[in-house]
């Protein structure tokens, strides 16, 4: 169902992402070692990758790195390795022969215990799993079975919260593992690029080819067709004027379009009630997400966003507004704050002007108190 609010799990349920799917397919078939999928929040990156994986014959594991971070407070290697092994176990249920062969490949790892019942990680209190050792075993197993392993780190920017240099691990894997492809996704596009540091001559991944795929918002035509098809699935007729208003208000962000469709089609709200609820619920969600980013300098961050939401879009206009609302600010501090908002995806910068790419974010920052 197009209007299901959880991430899509099959290509059949995905709408109009053929170009991005083909880019993923061609990259994996070509044997690319590292693929980065970028896009703002609620644009459909996770749905795209999950749908792509569902159509693969190769073994894969998808790890929600954000979940590990929120549960553990960091992305420690033991948790990451457990997720890789758990993901393998789930995939291998599709082919018991493969699972038995994979267990054989793990028997040489001292901290992994393989039994008839499955695989366990056995560590002393002071020891930790070795991700490189595990990946090496996986790569050798793939070579023997003429297959390729796809390891997906969803919201990979959270991997920077660790005492492990995961960018270094990726660089080592890139150079040494010929049968493994890594896919990393990130809604905080600038943060993910800063984590990978592929343009930094001193970074481990510098000089490696990274296939970059951008997931963009729907156009007006695609947005309206998406909504129309979703309502047709539910046997509901909606007039063009309402569909056009939804596009104008939500600007082609598929997560918000889907939520509107769910509220209108499943919850049976009216057009106005559904649109209002998208914004009301969305504002609460956005503010909870935003709070962690702006906490160190809340008033100034909010003043920047508030200025842009009100139509001030140049560096000097925004800075003057911030000083009026929060007091004097140095160029150095102001530049750092505005760069952070761009890195985290709350602002976009085009031709030296700034914009808020998500209309719900724009509404949220005009409703919250600065100070």
CATH, residue 348: 1.10.10.10
Pick from 194, 214, 234: which residue ends a domain?
Answer: 214
Q: Say if 1 falls within a structural domain.
A: no
Helix axes 315-326, 298-309, angle to 10 degrees: 130
The two three-digit tokens of residue 314, written as one number: 């140049």
Q: Same domain for 166 and 231?
A: no
- Its pTM stands at 0.90
Q: Same domain for 29 and 118?
A: yes
Q: Same domain for 132 and 224?
A: no
Q: Same domain for 33 and 181?
A: yes
Q: 349: part of which helix (H) or strand (E)?
A: strand 348-350
Cα(148)–Cα(58) distance, rounded to whole angstroms?
6
Q: Same domain for 202 and 325?
A: no
Enclosing domain of residue 206 = 11-214
Q: Say if 2 falls within a structural domain.
A: no
The two three-digit tokens of residue 257, written as one number: 């379009």
Q: Same domain for 229 and 192?
A: no
pLDDT tens digits, one per residue of 39-87: 999 999 999 999 999 998 889 999 999 999 999 999 999 899 989 988 8
Helix axes 240-250, 254-265, angle to 10 degrees: 140
Closest alpha carbon to 40 in 360, 363, 357: 357
The confidence score (pLDDT) of residue 28 equals 95
pLDDT tens digits, one per residue of 126-149: 667 889 999 999 999 999 989 999
**How many helical (H) and strand (E) elements, i.e. helices and strands, does the chain have?**
16, 9
Q: Same domain for 76 and 224?
A: no
Q: Same domain for 231 and 300?
A: no
Q: What is the CATH number of the domain that holds 262?
A: 1.10.8.60
Q: Same domain for 175 and 72?
A: yes
Q: Say if 50 falls within a structural domain.
A: yes
Q: What is the CATH number of the domain that holds 187?
A: 3.40.50.300
Cα(52)–Cα(25) distance, rounded to whole angstroms?
8
- The segments of the chain whose pLDDT lies below 70 read 93-96, 116-118, 121, 123-127, 371
Q: Say if 3 falls within a structural domain.
A: no
Q: Say if 163 falls within a structural domain.
A: yes
Q: Same domain for 305 and 270?
A: no
Q: Say if 119 falls within a structural domain.
A: yes
The confidence score (pLDDT) of residue 272 equals 97
Please give the backbone phi and psi of residue 275, each rounded to the nearest 5 degrees, phi first.
Answer: -65, -45
The confidence score (pLDDT) of residue 20 equals 96
Classified as helix, coil or strand, 12 is helix
Q: Say if 276 falls within a structural domain.
A: yes
Q: Same domain for 46 and 193?
A: yes
Q: Same domain for 22 and 137?
A: yes
The confidence score (pLDDT) of residue 291 equals 87
How far from 343 is each of 40, 57, 363, CA to CA, in Å? 11, 35, 20
Classified as helix, coil or strand, 361 is helix
Q: How many domains does the chain have?
A: 3
Pick from 288, 306, 338: which residue ends a domain?
Answer: 288
Pick from 167, 192, 214: which residue ends a domain?
Answer: 214
The confidence score (pLDDT) of residue 371 equals 65
Q: 332: part of which helix (H) or strand (E)?
A: helix 331-343
The confidence score (pLDDT) of residue 86 equals 86
Q: Say if 6 falls within a structural domain.
A: no
């Amino acid at each position: 169902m197009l209007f299901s609010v959880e991430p899509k799990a099959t290509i059949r349920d995905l709408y109009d992402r053929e170009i991005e799917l083909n880019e993923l397919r061609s990259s994996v078939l070509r044997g690319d070692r590292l693929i980065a999928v970028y896009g703002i929040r609620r644009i459909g990156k996770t749905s795209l990758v999950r749908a792509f994986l569902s159509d693969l014959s190769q073994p894969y594991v998808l790890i929600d790195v954000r979940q590990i971070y929120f549960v553990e407070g960091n992305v420690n290697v033991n948790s990451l390795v457990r997720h890789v092994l758990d993901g393998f176990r789930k995939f291998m249920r599709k082919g018991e022969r493969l699972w038995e062969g994979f267990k054989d490949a793990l028997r040489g790892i001292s901290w992994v215990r393989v039994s008839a019942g499955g695989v366990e990680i056995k560590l002393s209190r002071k020891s930790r799993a070795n991700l490189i050792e595990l990946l090496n075993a996986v790569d050798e197993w793939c070579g023997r079975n003429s297959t390729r392993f796809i390891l997906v780190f969803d919201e990979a920017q959270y991997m920077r919260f660790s005492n492990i240099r995961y960018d270094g691990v990726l660089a080592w894997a890139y150079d040494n593992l010929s049968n493994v492809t890594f896919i990393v996704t990130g809604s905080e596009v600038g943060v993910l690029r800063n984590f990978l540091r592929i343009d930094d001559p001193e970074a481990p991944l510098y000089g490696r080819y990274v296939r970059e795929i951008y997931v963009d918002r729907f156009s007006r035509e695609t947005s309206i067709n998406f909504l129309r098809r979703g309502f047709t699935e539910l046997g509901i007729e909606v007039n063009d004027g309402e569909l056009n208003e939804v596009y104008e208000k939500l600007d082609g962000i598929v997560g918000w379009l889907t939520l509107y469709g769910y509220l209108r089609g499943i919850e049976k709200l009216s057009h106005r009630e559904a649109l209002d609820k998208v914004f009301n619920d969305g504002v609460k969600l956005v503010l909870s997400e935003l709070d962690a980013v702006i906490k160190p300098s809340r008033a100034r961050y909010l003043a920047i966003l508030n200025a842009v939401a009100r139509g001030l879009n140049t560096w000097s206009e925004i800075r003057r507004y911030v000083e009026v609302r929060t007091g004097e600010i140095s160029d150095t501090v102001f530049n750092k704050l505005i760069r952070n908002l761009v890195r985290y995806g709350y602002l976009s910068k085009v031709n030296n002007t700034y914009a808020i790419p998500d209309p719900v974010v724009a509404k949220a920052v005009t409703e919250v108190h600065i100070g």
